[in-house]
Amino acid sequence: MKTIQIIDSKNHVGETVKIGAWVANKRSSGKIAFLQLRDGTAYFQGVLVKNEVGEELFDVAKNLPQETSVMITGEIREDTRSKFGYEIGITGIEVVGESHDYPITPKEHGIDFLMDHRHLWLRSSKQHAVMQVRNELIRATYEFFNDRDFIKIDPPILTGSAPEGTTELFETDYFGEPAYLSQTGQLYLEAAAMAFGKVFSFGPTFRAEKSKTRRHLTEFWMMEPEMAFVSQDESLEIQEEYVAFMITKVLENCDYALDVLERDKDLLKKYTELPFPRISYDEAVELLQQNGFEDITWGDDFGSPHETFIANHFEKPVFILNYPKSMSPFYMKPHPTREDVVIRADLIAPEGYGEIIGGSERAIGYDYIVEQIEKDGLDRKDYEWYLDLQKYGPVPHSGFGLGLERTVTWVCGIDHVREASPFPRLLHRIYP
């Protein structure tokens, strides 16, 4: 007899098989019992009819506590009433591991309780769906960049540099020297782009964010492509193609997960239609002012209500271009004809999900970069290696960073970025 996974049921209709699973839920009447089974690949129901399986097995099934692990024997059948489409007619149950008083019951629980039990909460169907979408976005990322001959580069996590500013740094002691957990791999990726042309990284990054919002984690994963001989305009095209590609792949391969999440697939499909609108920071400020946002003036950073208004206005992800230099990192290329803005673009997701990409064309010129580093209050000696790139064949280059968890949150249509990470690190939360 074959041992299969639930997801493979469609290939075994009419066969008697074994499946290792957990009992997620159950219900029974006097004559028939239903076990909601999960094995990590999918959820489906097991059915036992008392007259057919006998009293002894029926009683075992009826009394299985939630999250008992079991080896099930039975016949796979079509089940047109369920979303999944298949079920198993159970003829044997072997208890593998007992479970007692599982804390997450089918009733509603408060968010603090669920977060304290994140290690168990992951077993629920919604969390399962979110992690499947996350996995698909990661898989699609490798496919997209590998198909375009990018080389994956892994920048260090421990670093002496702080390109995104010094206020949100996690500092640690590195044999008597201060070191930081990386905020971005970008500077290293720029060095790698000068060695390999087109590179990308995918790894954890850290920000000691003191703000408690629906969008901020202190540890999150970023995809960071960096491309030599590529202008900002070309980079924007790659960015929108990449985002559309990821969504297309989720639509193709995560249909069931999107159903569990009750995500509007037509809406997602709309987000694959290119190009995404582009507006300048100046235009964005004007648009906000014309629509009742009197609090915003040129030079201000956009808050969440501002970004939400702008993206909803276009009903699509939208690029905001050419931000004020005063609020941008040192490494961004100055605008060729304007002193006050840099060649930067953020991609803002619709439906209130906020910024998912930050990117720019990179500054070139030794003296200019030294000046900017010093203006930002950074110690030049920590960046000598980065400045070397200006001495040996510098070229125009561009890159960007896409936040994985923000993208997962948006594609899944969930409320909070904390559910987009298996074990989220948030302000005041490092357990479990």
Number of chain residues interacting with Mg ion (CB under 5 A): 1
Q: Which does 222 bind (CB under 5 to 8 A by kind): Mg ion, ligand 4AD, none?
A: ligand 4AD
238, 246, 318, 356: which one binds ligand 4AD (CB under 6 A): 356
Quickly tell me which residue has 């690190």 as its tokens: 425
Name the residue whose CB lies closest to Mg ion. 358
Binding of ligand 4AD at residue 400 (CB under 6 A)?
yes
- Minimum distance between the CB of residue 327 and ligand 4AD, rounded to whole angstroms? 12
Nearer to Mg ion, 118 or 215 (CB): 215
| Angle at CA of residue 200, ends 197 and 201, nearest 5° | 140
Q: 134, 207, 316, 333: which one contacts ligand 4AD (CB under 6 A)?
A: 207
How far, in Å, are 274, 314, 382, 393 from residue 219 at the CA level? Answer: 31, 30, 23, 35
Q: What does the block give as tokens for 60? A: 């075992």
Binding test (CB under 6 A) with ligand 4AD, winner from 23, 217, 238, 254: 217
**Identity of the residue, 225 or 358, whose beta carbon is nearer to Mg ion in the bound complex:** 358
Q: Pairing relation of β-strands 177-181 and 158-159?
A: antiparallel
Whether the Cβ atoms of residue 202 and residue 150 lie closer than 8 Å to each other: no
Cα(405)–Cα(219) distance, integer angstroms: 10
Q: Do the beta carbons of residue 75 and residue 88 sit within 8 Å?
A: yes
CA distance 304 to 311: 11
Which of 317, 358, 403, 424 is the binder for Mg ion (CB under 5 A)?
Answer: 358
The answer for residues whose C-beta is within 8 angstroms of residue 19's C-beta and 6 or more apart is 3, 4, 5, 6, 37, 39, 71, 72, 74, 88
Pick from 67, 87, 136, 209: which binds ligand 4AD (CB under 6 A)?
209
Residue 121 near which of ligand 4AD, Mg ion, none (CB within 5-8 Å, type-dependent): none
How many residues at the interface with ligand 4AD, by CB under 6 A? 22
Least distance to Mg ion, CB of residue 204, Å? 17
C-alpha 258, offset from chain centre: 15
Find the shortest distance in angstroms from Cβ 359 to Mg ion.
9
Confirm if 37 and 44 have CB atoms less than 8 A apart.
yes
What count of residues does the chain have? 432
Residue closer to ligand 4AD by CB (options 38, 406) is 406
| Residue ranges in 221-240 that form contacts with ligand 4AD under rule CB under 6 A | 222, 224
Return residues touching ligand 4AD (CB under 6 A). Answer: 164, 184, 186, 207, 209, 216-217, 220, 222, 224, 355-359, 399-401, 403, 405-406, 417
Task: Catalog residues that contact Mg ion under the rule CB under 5 A.
Answer: 358
